[in-house]
Amino acid sequence: MKLIAEGAEAKIYIDKEKIIKDRVKKTYRLAVIDEFLRKTRTRSEAKLIREAERAGVNVPAILEQDDKTYKLNMEFLNGDKVGDILDKNIELGEKIGEQVYKLHSRKIVHGDLTTSNMILKNNNVYFIDFGLGKITDKVEDMAVDLHLFKECIISKHNSIWEKVWNSFLKTYKNDKALKHLKKVEARGRYKKLD
């Protein structure tokens, strides 16, 4: 088992053909709260991934969910991070838009919709890391998901972001969320002026 990533909430290991997401103990939290958060977040992420799969979204298969050790075992997706290859594959915007549209159509918000949480495998875009996701029918939450994705491509893929965004818009067809995105962006611009 090899550690391949470490975030604020979890350590990610690879073990042969599976990924293990281990939500680590936080000593600064009360033990009972820490256990509750780790358990509920592990369950919630597994549920969201399964819901996304039912919606036809490309996600890793859940192999095992252990609520006692707060570990989630998932299929290893042997592919490229979209963030590493997007600059030479602008058309991936369409594949991303199609997947996000499927998510939002099932009232699933990813919560961390960045190109670092997308893997290209066999010419399909897969979404990973639903740790900040939720099920909601609020158009605000969907618009914030879109805003985060747009901000990600502006900052990480600045020379091609408009082409990627236009490609994305060819397949993302939730007009309410796109209309609300303008309100979210206006709030952001207003804050920057202060």
Domains and CATH numbers, the chain: 2-75 (3.30.200.20), 80-193 (1.10.510.10)
pLDDT at 192: 47
pLDDT at 123: 96
Sheet (strand 18-23) strand order: 2-6, 10-15, 18-23, 71-75, 62-66
pLDDT at 193: 43
Number of residues written out for the chain: 194
pLDDT at 189: 60
Which residue of the set 15, 67, 84, 112 is catalytic? 112
* DSSP string for 99-122: HHHHHHHTTEE-S---GGGEEEET
Q: Beta strand 108-109 with 118-121: parallel, antiparallel or unpaired?
A: unpaired
Does 112 qualify as catalytic in the annotation?
A: yes
Apex 182 CA angle, 91 and 191, nearest 5: 115
Q: Answer for the pair 88, 163: CB distance below 8 angstroms, yes or no.
A: no
10-residue averages of pLDDT along the chain (194 residues): 88 94 92 92 95 97 89 96 96 98 97 96 97 95 97 96 98 97 83 46
pLDDT at 190: 52
pTM, to two decimals = 0.91
- String of b and e for 136-150 (b: at least 16 CB within 10 Å)? eeebebbbbbbbbbb
Rounded CA separation 11/22 (Å): 5
Residue 89's identity, in one-letter code, is N
